[in-house]
Amino acid sequence: MEAGTQWWAAMSTDKTDKLLLLLMGIVILLMVMNLGLFLRMNQLQSQVIQALQSFQRPTGLTAGTQAPPFSLADVNGKTVSLQDFSGQRVLLAFSATACPACQQMYPALRRFHESHPDIALLMISRGSSEENRRLVQNEGLTFPILAWEDDVVKAYQVPGTPYFYVVDDQGVIAAQGFANSLEQLEEMVKADR
């Protein structure tokens, strides 16, 4: 009987060792799979972040940044560039003819232009040539209304309309932001000083 017990104990130990080895193999395999899954998740996270960056809204150029140069056609087809106003302060307005907030700003822009002859006012307007011509006629605007060009808008990182930049006499952005009233424009220009 003792020999049978020893044989059974030996078989039991052998089975236990095999089971332990099998379990250790499974645990190691699961750890390797988890590591692989972790690495793949990191890759996917990086890809998602890169894809989402193209959907981020621009925030506008910050004060102290050199204003990007541009040359755009006005409503009469004449080319106007930022360089034309070198040595002069400029209020640069980004607008859209279909934007209700922009439409409310046109009278304020006209009054601003009339009360600040020392500051050049340029508007880059998103609208057809005909819409921009009607804008000049209907609102009595006497400052240049320039054709919207996506490359210029991207260079200025315009987040929406109506958006404004105050460019100092050295061609450097002094202030920027959205404005919905003459008072906000006045505050923006004062912040430049």
Residue 99, Cβ density class (10 Å: 0-12 exposed, 13-18 middle, ≥19 buried): middle
Is the CATH code 3.40.30.10 the one for domain 71-192? yes
Beta-carbon count within 10 A of 189 CB: 18
d(CA 190, CA 175): 9
Tell me the pLDDT of the chain (193 aa) as tens digits.
565 556 555 556 778 888 888 999 999 999 999 988 888 888 888 888 777 766 666 789 999 999 999 999 999 999 999 999 999 999 999 999 999 999 999 999 999 999 999 999 999 999 999 999 999 999 999 999 999 999 999 999 999 999 999 999 999 999 999 999 999 999 999 976 6
Query: For residue 130, which amino acid is it?
Result: E
pTM of this prediction exceeds 0.75? no
Q: CA angle, corner 10, sides to 8 and 12, nearest 5?
A: 65
